[in-house]
Structure 1
């Protein structure tokens, strides 16, 4: 399978329509061999009551990017991706601006993909560190 960065980004962004990713304004912006990056604005739509980036929004961003990243390694006509476990360590708070999320493959098996996902701010400061396990299933 040849790697076509523009096609992957276009497909990921199209798949956001009418989903949680569109609601959170997630936009896929970069891809390469073994990684996928997206960005998300931090504003009142993703705040918790104290005016900070909600941990749940951060985890939704991480799972969205990690799951989409697994699509780069499968035949989407015959297979599909399911996130089966995610963990997150929130290390720094954020009130406004943009966060960037990059998923990097740790293990690429036939049925399991393991991703390390870093969420950073505009200054490359680590906001959250996540780990996502995806199961690869036959398409139904």
Structure 2
């Protein structure tokens, strides 16, 4: 989501009234308990507050990017307990070993390498994915025995 909203820049302030990696308005940030401005907060805090915002508004809090990414369902919680259990996952995705990726944001699994293709499943955050073929910005992965495609444009390699 942050890749789509801000090109993954967690400290962005362009002067358009939206701040940080997930482009909070100041009022939305305060509504979910944030202090200061979002772009001044840590990436972890921005993600935690975004989950709180999602709980209140759903994906409509990010209408353009959630639609472009085909997001639906619960993205899962995020907070200190998540980081305790999943250390090192504070980025969109990480390569775990040759051919494996870890999705740290909920990602739609598509039937074909196209954002307009049917969604086969929503891959939950934290899932280790075995990879196959790559076509441009699309990566073939297996999730729960189902083979499909995820768009790496919105999933960062670290």
Question: Of Structure 1 and Structure 2, which has the larger fraction of its residues in helix?
Answer: 2
**TM surpasses 0.5:** no
TM-score by length of structure 1 reads 0.28
TM-score by length of structure 2 reads 0.26
Question: Of Structure 1 and Structure 2, which has the larger fraction of its residues in strand?
Answer: 1
